Structures are given as C-alpha cells and as structure tokens.
Amino acid sequence: MAVCWISFRIAKKTVGGKTYDQRYEALENAVQDISSMYWKETTSFIVFETDTAFKSAAKTFKDKIEPGHDLFLMRKMDAKEAIICGKNDDNDIYEMMNYLEKI
C-alpha cells in the first residue's frame, strides 16, 4: 500500500456540462473509491492510502476533472513520484519537483 497526497483546484464555473460542485465531488469520490483510508480535513488536499497503481490513480482522477480549466498535483509520500494534470500557469513547480510528470 502506498500513501499519497493530492492537492487540487477546480475552476468555479461550469465546464463540459459539469458544475464546480459536480467536478469537486467526483474527484473526492474517486479518491475515496480507491482508498483504504483517507484524510481530507483541509480544503482541496487529501492524503490517502491505496493499492491502486500511482499512474492509474492519476488517470482516474484526470477523468473526473476538466484539465483545460482544473488542476491537480499528486505525490507518493515515500518516493520521488509526482504527477501534475491540468491548467498550470506557474512552471516553477517543475524546478522544485524535477521528477514531476505531466499527464
């Protein structure tokens, strides 16, 4: 089992027929669906434990958002594995996390 975290921003508008609330809830539910345990006490940040492959989890999460408008960053806590997906306007993250992959 891996422990990971995901931080995300959902655009406050309807995109592709899905509202902010629908996309936010879909992403939270996707995390909960693959987790044996999770922590979501702060806004738009969840720590979760899963046996789902890291990249497979990222692809599942990508399907729940609108990458042209929304954004998530996730990382496996015990390894230098991280994935970013979506509308990112600040490329400094690639310098801070030189192992970061984009999907």
Tell me, what amino acid is at 44? Answer: S
Residues 23 and 3: their CA atoms lie apart, in Å, by: 23
E strand or H helix that includes residue 77: none
Confidence at 77, pLDDT banded by 50, 70, 90: very high
Domain ranges of the chain: 2-102
Q: Which among 29, 51, 50 has a CA at the least distance from the CA of 40?
A: 29
What does pTM read for this prediction?
0.94
Task: Report the CATH number of the 2-102 domain.
Answer: 3.30.70.240
The neighbour count for residue 17, using CB atoms within 10 Å, is: 7
Taking each helix axis from N to C end, the angle separating 54-62 and 20-34, rounded to the nearest 10 degrees, works out to 160
Encode pLDDT of 20-76 as tens digits: 999 999 999 999 999 999 999 999 999 999 999 999 999 999 999 999 999 999 999
Phi, psi (5° rounding) for residue 27? Answer: -70, -45
The pLDDT value recorded for residue 92 is 97
